[in-house]
Amino acid sequence: MAAMARRVLELLILFVLARNTSPCALDVPVGSSCRYCLSWRLAVEANNLRAWRTVPLQCLHHVESYVTGSQYERDIDLIVDQIGSYVDGIEMLGDGMDAWILDVDDTCVSNLLYYRGKRYGCDPYDALGFKAWAARGECLAIPAMLGLFRRLIEDGFKIILLTGRDEESLGEATVENLRSQGYVGYERLIMRSAAYRGESAVTYKSAMRKQLVEQGYRIWGNVGDQWSDIQGEFAGNRTFKIPNPMYFVP
Amino acid sequence: MAAMARRVLELLILFVLARNTSPCALDVPVGSSCRYCLSWRLAVEANNLRAWRTVPLQCLHHVESYVTGSQYERDIDLIVDQIGSYVDGIEMLGDGMDAWILDVDDTCVSNLLYYRGKRYGCDPYDALGFKAWAARGECLAIPAMLGLFRRLIEDGFKIILLTGRDEESLGEATVENLRSQGYVGYERLIMRSAAYRGESAVTYKSAMRKQLVEQGYRIWGNVGDQWSDIQGEFAGNRTFKIPNPMYFVP
C-alpha cells in the first residue's frame, strides 16, 4: 500500500510539475469550452464579431472569471502604459486645443456591479435596468483610467468625455458619479441630446467629434471600450480599445 | 511515513482538482510572465500596440505555444465561421464583380516554419532571410482559409489575392506556392510592383483597392493578418483580422 501510494504520489507530482512548467495558460484540456471562449473573446476585441447580442452562455464562467479576476485589469494596465508612451511623444501646441476623448461607461467608470446581475452579459440588454442603475450614480472608477485622466490633465490636455448616455435623464447622475469617483477638471462632458436619440453610436459620436474639430480641437487620442467609440469620422490621431467582453454597442 | 504520504497525496489531489475545475485558463500563477504575454497579445490583436519590432523575449514561449498549439487554429476557425455567417447574408449581384480580398502571408499560407527559426518573432525582421524563404515556395496552406477560399469561389465571388511581396523577385515562386497548396481559381494575384517599393502596406494596398473599385469590383470582404491589410481607403464592406503575434507590418 505504501509503495503504491508513493508511486501515485510521484506520478501526481510529475503531473503538477508538467502543468506548472507550461509556458502559458493555453494548455487547458482539449474540449473545454474555455478554448472556444478564448477565441470568442479575441474575436470580439479584434472587431471580428459584430452586432452580437449576448455573451454565449457557455462562456458565462469564462467572462466572469476574466472581468472579476486580475487579467482584465492587467489588460487595461498594458493599454494605459501604451497610451503613456504615445503621450510622451506628442508635441503639444499648448494653445488649449490639444484634446483627448474618453468614453465614460466601462472606460472611465465600471458597470461591472450592474452586469454581475445580468450574468456578465449572458442576459440580453435591458435598457430600463441599465438606466435605473446609471441613475444611482454608483459606478466605480477604473483605476488605471483615472490615473490616465489625471496625467493627461496634468500634461495640459483638454479632456472631452463623450458618452452615449441620455443627457436629459442621466445628466445630473452622471456628472455627480464622475465627480465622486475623482473625474474632476475635464473640459466638457458631451451626452446624447434628444436630437441624436436612436442614432448609432458611430453616427452620434462622429458628429460630436466633427463639431470639436470644427471648433479647433486637435484630437490626439480617443479611448473607448467599444469599436463604435473609435470608428467613424474624426476618430482621432490614435485610438485605443479597452476590453469589454460583456456587451456590444452598435 | 505512509500516513504522511497519504496526506500529501490528498492535498495534491485537491490541488489538481482545484486546477481542473477552474472555469478557464486564466488562473495561472500570479507573477507569471504569461499574464503579461496574454495582455500583450490581446493588445496586438486589438490594434492597441503599433509599430512593434519584435516579440518581447519574455513572451517567446507563450507565442511559440500559441502558434504551434491548437488555440491559434481555433481562433482562426472561429473567425472563418463568422466570415461564413456574413457571406450567407450577402446578396450578390452576380455580374462577376462581387469580390473578396485576401492577403497571402499568414492569411492564406503560413510562414510558421520560417518564424520557428526566428524565435517566433523575438528576432528582428530579416528582409533577406524572409525573401530567401519565400523564394523556396514552401509555405503551407492555412487549412481554414483554404476552405474559405474554395467556398467563396464556389459561391461565385472573384478572389483578389493582394500581397506586399515583391512581384519581380517573388512572382513565380508565389504563384507556384499558392498553386501547390490548392489556391487555384482566383481572379487575380496583385503583388508589389517597383512603383510601390518602400511604400507602407496601407498606402500600397489602398491604391490597389482603389483601382479595383474603379474597375467596378464590389469589395464585400477583406481578410488579413495585419491591421495594415484592412485599414486605409476602400478597405471593403467588412474586414476580418486573423491573429498574428509574430510580426507587425506598418
- Return the residue of A nearest to B36 by Cα: A74
Distance CA A34, CA A115 (A): 20
Q: Is A103 helix (H, G, I), strand (E, B) or coil?
A: coil
Q: Testing the interface with A: which of B8, B15, B37, B42 to mutate, by most A Cβ within 10 A?
A: B42
Distance CA B58, CA B66 (A): 14
Of B221, B215, B219, B149, the closest CA to residue B186 belongs to: B149
One-letter amino acid identity for B164?
A: G
DSSP E strands: which ranges in A79-195?
A: 98-102, 109-110, 140-141, 158-166, 188-192
Residues on chain A touching B5 (C-beta within 8 angstroms): 2, 5-6, 9
One-letter amino acid identity for A35?
A: R
Domain boundaries, chain A: 35-241
DSSP E strands: which ranges in chain A?
A: 98-102, 109-110, 140-141, 158-166, 188-192, 218-224, 238-241
pLDDT score at B22: 40
Query: What are the helix (H) ranges across B21-166?
Result: 33-45, 60-68, 70-88, 112-116, 127-136, 143-155
* Fold (CATH) for B35-241: Rossmann fold (3.40.50)
Of B46, B181, B196, the closest CA to residue A229 belongs to: B46
Q: Test B23 with A47 for CB contact under 8 angstroms.
A: no
pLDDT score at B18: 45
Burial class (CB in 10 A: 0-12, 13-18, 19+), A194: exposed
Q: Testing the interface with A: which of B12, B39, B58 to mutate, by most A Cβ within 10 A?
A: B39
| A239: alpha, beta or left? (left if phi > 0; alpha if psi -120 to 50) | beta
Residue among B12, B32, B79 whose CB faces A48 most closely:
B79
Q: Test B29 with A40 for CB contact under 8 angstroms.
A: no
ipTM of the prediction: 0.90
Cell of A22: 507550461
Of B118, B103, B116, B111, the closest CA to residue B134 belongs to: B111
- Segments in chain A below pLDDT 70: 1-5, 8-31
Rounded mean pLDDT of chain A?
Answer: 92
pLDDT score at B14: 59
Q: Test B75 with A43 for CB contact under 8 angstroms.
A: yes
What angle (nearest 5°) sits at the alpha carbon of residue A250, between those of residues A128 and B151?
Answer: 135
Cell of B76: 482562426
At B238, give phi and psi (nearest 5°): -145, 145
Residue among B16, B23, B61 whose CB faces A16 most closely:
B16
- Segments in chain B below pLDDT 70: 1-2, 4-5, 8-31
Q: Is B109 helix (H, G, I), strand (E, B) or coil?
A: strand
pLDDT digits (tens, 9 = 90+) for A163-198: 999 999 999 999 999 999 999 999 999 999 999 999
Burial class (CB in 10 A: 0-12, 13-18, 19+), A108: buried
Spatial contact of A137 and A98, defined as CB atoms under 8 Å apart = no
Cell of B196: 510601390
Please give the biggest Cα pair distance in chain B. Answer: 82
Cell of B21: 475545475
Give me the residues paired with residue B192 across strands: B166
Burial class (CB in 10 A: 0-12, 13-18, 19+), A30: exposed
Residues on chain B touching A5 (C-beta within 8 angstroms): 2, 5-6, 9
Q: Testing the interface with B: which of A26, A36, A53, A72 to mutate, by most B Cβ within 10 A?
A: A26
If you compute the radius of gyration of chain B from its CA atoms, what whole number of angstroms results? 21
